[in-house]
Structure 1
Amino acid sequence: MKNLTKLTFFLFILITPLVSINAQSTEKSVPIFENGEAQIVPAFEDSEKWIRHDLWVETEFDTDGDGKLDRMHVSVTRPYQTDSEGLKLPIVYVSSPYFAGTAPFVDGLFWDVKHELGQAAKERVHVEVVRIGERPIISDSHIKTWVPRGYIVVHSSSPGTGLSQGSPTVGGDNESLAPKAVIDWLCGRIPGYSSIDGNEKVEAFWSTGKVGMTGTSYNGTIALAAATTGVDGLEAIIPIAPNTSYYHYYRSNGLVRSPGGYLGEDIDVLYDFIHSGDESKRAYNNANVRDKEMKNGMDRITGDYNDFWAGRDYINDMKPMKAALLMSHGFNDWNVMPEHSYRIYEAAKAQGLVCQIYYHQNGHGGPPPMKLMNRWFTRYLHQVENGVENDAKAWIVRENDKRENPTAYKEYPNPAASEVTLYLNPGAPGRGNLTTKPQKDQGTEKLVDNYSFTGASLAQAEFTNHRLIYVTPTLLKDVHISGVPKVTVMLSSSKPAANLSVWLVSLPWTEGQESKITDNIITRGWADPQNHQSITKSELLAPDKFYKVSFNLMPDDQVILKGQQIGLMIFSSDKEFTLWPSPGTELTIDLDATTINLPIVGGVEAFNNAVEEN
């Protein structure tokens, strides 16, 4: 018995290390979560071991006229453990028209803006895109962020760009159905193919079927476009500064208006800019999409909203959407303006979708802090119950804070904000006053259009007949604006057509100096007086007849500091955004009937306390 006991003990000592070694060798790598966030996993960090491959996914449309369904080019980057250990992971998916390069900026690429309103401009120059990239790689974006945290990153080129077949439509249905097809493949509902025209199938065996999309600008637009299809498996999206309506991007309340920084750009320009696909298909695409559909629908003459624009407005496609939405935008984005995110956020709330919004004080682009994005994808892609849906609905970066440190609010606009109506007192060609007390029988004041002066120079001018400006008393306390200002201008025009531009500014002008505010432009807006009744129908303005033009300025959330004045500036042509008709059009403003409604935290009482207007 003693000898048998010794033998058993000896065997136990011998076998135990082998069992331990075997246990270590079979331990699998899995995502790790702390405080509701996916953590970097060392086993997923070695980029040299990542598996990268390309494939094509067949869609349900043919937009290049070859009689075959278009296939989208897709690339995948995933941890090697998805092969060696059978690990399945969720997907972070980004799609774009930009991955294969864009057209060069050449003279004549944009439309000439120097012409009379209601007249056609001379034809612009069409430029061909030369595709970049010597092998079928699509993009490395987001890979280093998400793969180490336990995600697979997928990229695709949108229709008619890169190695994806089809034609760009700049907001057409195919740009929604293309990412839908990729998601259907990721969820195992349709096959992928190893080549652009072959039949060898590729399966996404490593996918959990949980997909999230993100991207900035056009890439963020595609995330929203995919979500509006209601495709199963798209659990969450984080669009960053997305263009949610091409009408709102290239028009404003009936007015032909360029996006900031791209004077003269229109939807056909963007089409040429991104069309990097198969050169043999470009002639067909150009003839049918650019030169037929776009030319007939975009209407640079009236600027009216029509079926062409309605088909490129994602708010009209929201009903099927079910993905959780974290929206991101900058309040000083004058390219894709902040209304783009706000309008979709409001529609998503109305549908009862889980949604949050993040706004910063800078310009175009700018994702939410990593913590917010991580919590969002962790909750909806890894299905970790971290309570993100119960977090604050609005995250606003205050004026002096870093973008990584937003302030949480119950909602946007701030629930404590209410409208304060401000009325005009005369002062042209100098500065009039803004007051909460309406006046009667003040008459009219005039301005003379002249596009050669920038809005900034007009706002700073002490005296000029090219704008009208009305200012509050100097603030003795900070004033917090949160929401969408609304302006009503009662005007007449000396010509049948005129531009109307409105800026809300803070004075004195401090551009280029140390200041706690981002800049002196609080918000702004544009409108066509010919569309005073409807953005779908213009009517020529009768000389000396007054028309009431009411419209929203861009949403904002900004604290105007004590020592400043809030100014309402009304002018005609905006040098950086509108067409440039010959100077000389006179706009006459009825002071009694012109107002601005400002959403102010604390309402009338807070405003009156700030200006001692009791």
Structure 2
Amino acid sequence: MQWYSGGADEPRFAVPAAALLAFALLPAATAAQTGLVIEDGQAQIVPAFADSSTWIRHDLWVETGFDSDGDGRPDRVHVDVTRPAQTESEGLQVPVIYETSPYYSGVAGIDFAHFWDLRQEVGGEPPPRDPFPPTIRHIESQPRISNSHVATWVPRGFAVVHSQSPGTGQSQGCPTVGGANESLAPKAVIDWLNGRARGFTSVEGDEEVEAWWATGRVGMTGTSYNGTLPLAAATTGVEGLEAIIPVAPNTSYYHYYRSNGLVRAPGGYPGEDIDVLFDFIFSGFPEVRDYCLANVRDEMTAQLDRVTGDYSDFWAGRDYLNHIDGVRAATLMSHGFNDWNVMPEHSYRISMALRERGVPLQIFYHQGGHGGPPPLELMNRWFTRYIVGVKNGVEDDPEAWIVREGDDPREPTPYPSYPHPEAEGVALHPGGDGHWTGTLSLDDSGAGPGADAETGTVVDNFAFAGDELAAAEWSNHRLLYATPELREDVHLSGVATVRVRVSADVPAANLSVWLVSLPWAGGGEINDNLITKGWADPSNARAEDIASPRTGTPLTPGEFVELEFALQPDDQVIPAGARIGLMIFSSDQSFTLHPDPGTTLTVDLGDTSISLPVVGGNAAMRRALGVPASQ
């Protein structure tokens, strides 16, 4: 083993990967092996590993402990491996970077004719859906599943492994879209990497293959659905999964397709629901297609409940927060604050739970949309610490890394944690005529149910998009209240919470809330105007937990209900000269159902407010609004 002089704080050294973990167990000859090079706490590219022409590639099938396609045999999942030549020539054992996905063998084309029809009354029966025809051509042979991560990690002395989710590609079984087999399949692969599960050279054969070249320590990563599955695997507590880096993960299918009891689509996919996603990914073996459709997809359709939008055991089983106690893998979470597909609450809710449980945690947030991994340096330090075993001090690094507005995503700003430790809730109260633009102020003198009988009305009409409503000088389809121009920047960090006292002239209605920055300049998707959003079903106003409501109560026309719910997490600096606006309306064209126009909501302004997570709290907000501290 050779050591090299390094910087004052940390030496540069080269050492076999396995020796970092269990040097005492290695034969003396191992000291001459090609090894990982660690510098500044990160694994470096090693020329001997970097020659791609020497890499060893092979595929196999790992036997799981479940039978999801009903054929009486354990399902096998398809796996590919790319590893340095030295694992063969020198007997080198290496750590593993692993990504699994339902997408590797293709997906159905987007055809909104096969999505759910949004023209549905809230609380009414949905029009029937015409499922996708079986359009994904099954690929019989796919030895190389994916090249993701290979060029980054194999030259640094890692093996890279991919697998296909059950019921996709050459993996047996049925897709369950968040069901137990999606957690247990990657667990089986990690068990195989640790010698606890069997791998085979063919899907039906009995010739076994072992992962003798693996140290057994695994890190998982991926984006979107591929970012969900590392968390799914981690909830099993599988030994050997040491670190995960989920990027824009869907941590709850309920929170992906519903919001505070309201049927709500992910951004860009109006009318999508969990059974639509099944059709979108089902690329598995044709001989099990009918079984999977009848026993999985059709069961989803029967239980997803687009009438009430309420939480149920069906959704609870697909909510990873309910299985969070199993997670021991060090987690570096990544998400965009303007991700309206997999919304930022998904990473927020899990990171808060892991922090409470003492799981090693780091958070990377950026100002963009869907996707966006952390900078390689953050990922490398994370994997080097937890799956290579080098004590590089990453646990002493700042917990939160946030890309500030306009900054290079590779240069995030560090913070002690997220939300910002100095953020405090500051309540703002609406007043005046919200058909024009009313006031939003610290003044709570008119607060209280029915105070001064000041109300605002909204006539629902889904034909008007949210950005149109925010830009309108006057509209009876929304209520808009705004602060005076800010005299100083206002840094919001965390979750804004809105409290609304509202009535409707029908038993059920959509309720949508946007927090905006004015004047509205158009677009509004990335910081210029849009701050955050939220949606809720007033029928769930009395729910014990409105974020996951089990039951609702139809509204009595004209009778007020009070509900409080969180908007999507954010971290944004609202510049001096802007105005912070609260917009309340009914149907959100891009996200909610589209009931017949004409429903009228009445908002009691005296008992409606929004609490903003302001860094510096009330004092900072007062300075920004020019309000003396004595008032």
Please state how far the C-alpha of 1:190 moved relative to its aligned partner: 1.6
Aligned equivalent of 2:149: 142
Please state how far the C-alpha of 1:512 moved relative to its aligned partner: 5.8
Rounded Cα–Cα distance in structure 2 between residues aligned with 1:581 and 1:496: 13
Pick one of 255, 261, 264 that aligns with 1:254: 261
Please state how far the C-alpha of 1:511 moved relative to its aligned partner: 3.2
Aligned equivalent of 1:360: 366
1:289 paired with 2:296, answer yes
1:485 paired with 2:496, answer yes
Asked whether the 8 Å contact 2:460–2:585 carries over to 1, the reply is: yes
5 Å-filtered alignment, 1:20-59, equals 27-59=32-64
Please state how far the C-alpha of 1:132 moved relative to its aligned partner: 5.0
Please state how far the C-alpha of 1:417 moved relative to its aligned partner: 0.6
Aligned equivalent of 1:167: 174
| TM-score for both structures, normalised by structure 2 | 0.92
| Structure 2 alignment gaps of length 5 or more | 1-30, 447-451, 544-548
Q: Which amino acid letter does the alignment assign opposite residue 252 of structure 1?
A: S
1:526 paired with 2:535, answer yes
Aligned equivalent of 1:65: 70
- For residues 107 and 365 of structure 1, do their structure 2 counterparts lie closer, same or farther at Cα, with a shift above 3 Å needed? closer
Asked whether the 8 Å contact 1:136–1:163 carries over to 2, the reply is: no
Pick one of 407, 412, 416 that aligns with 1:406: 412
Aligned equivalent of 1:426: 432
For residue 372 of structure 1, give the secondary structure of its aligned residue in structure 2.
helix
Aligned equivalent of 2:89: 84
Which has the greater radius of gyration?
Answer: 1
CA deviations on 1:12-35 (whole Å, 9 max, x unpaired) are xxxxxxxxxxxxxx9532110101
Asked whether the 8 Å contact 2:335–2:370 carries over to 1, the reply is: yes
Q: Which amino acid letter does the alignment assign opposite residue 139 of structure 1?
A: S
Rounded Cα–Cα distance in structure 2 between residues aligned with 1:336 and 1:115: 23
Rounded Cα–Cα distance in structure 2 between residues aligned with 1:119 and 1:567: 35
Q: Which amino acid letter does the alignment assign opposite residue 311 of structure 1?
A: G
Pick one of 273, 276, 280 that aligns with 2:280: 273
Aligned equivalent of 2:350: 344
CA deviations on 1:111-144 (whole Å, 9 max, x unpaired) are 1101212222222232322235853321111100
Asked whether the 8 Å contact 1:251–1:257 carries over to 2, the reply is: yes
Rounded Cα–Cα distance in structure 2 between residues aligned with 1:220 and 1:81: 30
Aligned equivalent of 2:613: 599
Rounded Cα–Cα distance in structure 1 between residues aligned with 2:148 and 2:257: 28
1:391 paired with 2:388, answer no
Rounded Cα–Cα distance in structure 2 between residues aligned with 1:413 and 1:429: 33
Aligned equivalent of 1:192: 199
Q: Which amino acid letter does the alignment assign opposite residue 469 of structure 1?
A: L
Rounded Cα–Cα distance in structure 1 between residues aligned with 2:140 and 2:72: 28
1:98 paired with 2:107, answer no
Please state how far the C-alpha of 1:329 moved relative to its aligned partner: 0.1
CA deviations on 1:439-493 (whole Å, 9 max, x unpaired) are 3215211010000000000001010000001000100110000000000110000
Asked whether the 8 Å contact 2:37–2:46 carries over to 1, the reply is: yes
CA deviations on 1:228-272 (whole Å, 9 max, x unpaired) are 000000000000000000000000000000000000000000000
Rounded Cα–Cα distance in structure 1 between residues aligned with 2:463 and 2:443: 35
Pick one of 583, 587, 595 that aligns with 1:581: 595
Pick one of 502, 509, 517 that aligns with 1:498: 509
Aligned equivalent of 1:476: 487
Q: Which amino acid letter does the alignment assign opposite residue 388 of structure 1?
A: V
Sequence identity percentage: 60
Pick one of 91, 97, 121 that aligns with 1:116: 121
Asked whether the 8 Å contact 1:56–1:72 carries over to 2, the reply is: yes
Asked whether the 8 Å contact 1:361–1:398 carries over to 2, the reply is: yes
Moved segments of 4+, more than 6 Å: none
CA deviations on 1:1-48 (whole Å, 9 max, x unpaired) are xxxxxxxxxxxxxxxxxxxxxxxxx95321101010000011111111
Asked whether the 8 Å contact 2:217–2:240 carries over to 1, the reply is: yes
1:608 paired with 2:614, answer no
Asked whether the 8 Å contact 1:478–1:559 carries over to 2, the reply is: yes
Asked whether the 8 Å contact 1:127–1:273 carries over to 2, the reply is: no
Rounded Cα–Cα distance in structure 2 between residues aligned with 1:367 and 1:610: 34
Aligned equivalent of 2:228: 221
Please state how far the C-alpha of 1:76 moved relative to its aligned partner: 0.2
Q: Which amino acid letter does the alignment assign opposite residue 523 of structure 1?
A: T
Please state how far the C-alpha of 1:613 moved relative to its aligned partner: 1.6
Asked whether the 8 Å contact 2:193–2:211 carries over to 1, the reply is: yes
1:313 paired with 2:313, answer no
Asked whether the 8 Å contact 2:462–2:588 carries over to 1, the reply is: yes
Q: Which amino acid letter does the alignment assign opposite residue 593 of structure 1?
A: D
Please state how far the C-alpha of 1:297 moved relative to its aligned partner: 1.6
Q: Which amino acid letter does the alignment assign opposite residue 624 of structure 2?
A: A
Asked whether the 8 Å contact 1:502–1:571 carries over to 2, the reply is: yes
For residue 592 of structure 2, give the secondary structure of its aligned residue in structure 1.
coil
Please state how far the C-alpha of 1:107 moved relative to its aligned partner: 4.4
Aligned equivalent of 1:557: 571
Asked whether the 8 Å contact 2:138–2:285 carries over to 1, the reply is: no
Q: Which amino acid letter does the alignment assign opposite residue 366 of structure 1?
A: G
Aligned equivalent of 1:568: 582
Rounded Cα–Cα distance in structure 1 between residues aligned with 2:353 and 2:618: 28
Please state how far the C-alpha of 1:191 moved relative to its aligned partner: 1.6
Rounded Cα–Cα distance in structure 1 between residues aligned with 2:140 and 2:432: 61
CA deviations on 1:260-292 (whole Å, 9 max, x unpaired) are 000000000000000000011010001000112
Question: Mean alpha-carbon deviation: is it higher for 317-326 or for 124-133?
Answer: 124-133
Asked whether the 8 Å contact 1:104–1:127 carries over to 2, the reply is: no
- For residues 526 and 612 of structure 1, do their structure 2 counterparts lie closer, same or farther at Cα, with a shift above 3 Å needed? same
Please state how far the C-alpha of 1:194 moved relative to its aligned partner: 0.7
Rounded Cα–Cα distance in structure 2 between residues aligned with 1:370 and 1:519: 28
For residue 592 of structure 1, give the secondary structure of its aligned residue in structure 2.
helix
1:370 paired with 2:376, answer yes
Asked whether the 8 Å contact 1:103–1:130 carries over to 2, the reply is: no
Please state how far the C-alpha of 1:518 moved relative to its aligned partner: 2.8
Rounded Cα–Cα distance in structure 2 between residues aligned with 1:204 and 1:189: 10
For residue 161 of structure 2, give the secondary structure of its aligned residue in structure 1.
strand
Aligned equivalent of 2:476: 465
Please state how far the C-alpha of 1:437 moved relative to its aligned partner: 1.0
Q: Which amino acid letter does the alignment assign opposite residue 475 of structure 2?
A: T
| Structure 1 alignment gaps of length 5 or more | 1-25
1:546 paired with 2:551, answer no
For residue 143 of structure 2, give the secondary structure of its aligned residue in structure 1.
coil
Task: Give the superposed CA RMSD.
Answer: 1.5
Asked whether the 8 Å contact 2:141–2:170 carries over to 1, the reply is: no
For residue 319 of structure 1, give the secondary structure of its aligned residue in structure 2.
helix
Question: Mean alpha-carbon deviation: is it higher for 64-73 or for 131-140?
Answer: 131-140
Aligned equivalent of 1:16: none
- For residues 495 and 360 of structure 1, do their structure 2 counterparts lie closer, same or farther at Cα, with a shift above 3 Å needed? same
